[in-house]
Amino acid sequence: MKYLFLVTLCLATLTACQTTNKSSKETHGAFYVDGDQVVGGTLNDFELDTTKVFKNRDLSKTTLLIYNHGTISSGIHQRCHTDWLPAYVRLLTKQDSDIIAYYLCSQESGGNSRNSIVNQVHYKRGIEIAEVSDKFQKLGILKNNIFLMGHSGGASSSLMAASRTPEKFNSYIITAPGYGYAYLGGSNQASNYGNLYNNWKTIIQRGTKSRGVVYAFPGDKYSPPEDIAFMQNMRNIDYKILLNKDDTNCELDEIHAYPWTKCFALSETKFILNYIKKSSE
């Protein structure tokens, strides 16, 4: 699979989950309609590109999925790859013509373990995501039809956005969230990162007005399920643990990349689509 190869390659080089720096020359992201990428340009093209995609659509019935890519802890000097959207997200836009996916290229870079939480990439990107939702709502998308999606650091950022500003979104469906430093192998036991983990965890625990689905994958060294096990006791979160059943058809070398496999797409797309439809009612 093309997308599996890409994500496996980037995981091997620790550049898979990527973020951009602030620059007017960088892309704002890209839109997906009917399974294909249709338009995406520089930051200055955001409104023009959005208008093209929204043209001749009933925006009151349009569902928008804002997908957030992952990040290496600080997010500094990283590029965004809009063609790395997981197959299951593409499939959602293929199966329902009212669904549009937007792959957001983050313009935020984060801090390090010595910075306060407001300087961390997941916190800053959470603010950015909320602002992007505002832009889409001004262009006609209903708040109740905006869903957050994302993987790894992008999932953490989506959680932060939803927990702090639940009034701007319907809900979220995310995979393998980590608090930003889990990939180093220290998890929440590392003294250098424990304070950041606890702050991140506290914000999520307090965000009871938000709701969504969280996928975790046992054996994931980049986003250890142990770091988010507390979500099992949160009523506003549907916490799902998926195991790799050693199915050779999954073509999987690294469990962190499981959302890019056809196994994930085949087993979870229907559930996710039903969740979106039910939540929008």
Q: What is the pLDDT of residues 208-218, one digit of tens each?
A: 999 999 999 98
Q: What is the pLDDT of residues 83-116, one digit of tens each?
A: 889 999 999 999 999 999 999 998 876 555 556 7
| Total number of domains in the chain | 1
Give the CATH number of the domain where residue 144 resides: 3.40.50.1820
Closest CA to 156 of 101, 241, 222: 222
> Residues near 109 by Cβ (< 8 Å), separated by ≥ 6?
19, 21, 22, 74, 75, 76, 77, 121, 124
Q: CA 105, CA 47: separation in Å to the nearest integer?
A: 15
Q: What is the pLDDT of residues 226-275, one digit of tens each?
A: 889 999 999 999 999 987 655 666 767 788 889 998 889 999 999 999 99
Sign of CA pseudo-dihedral 223, 186, 164, 232: positive
Least confident of 29-33, 74-78, 83-87: 74-78
List beta partners, residue 240: 215
CA angle (80 as vertex; 104, 123 as ends), nearest 5: 60
Its domain, for residue 189, covers 2-280
Q: Which helix (H) or strand (E) holds 265?
A: helix 262-280
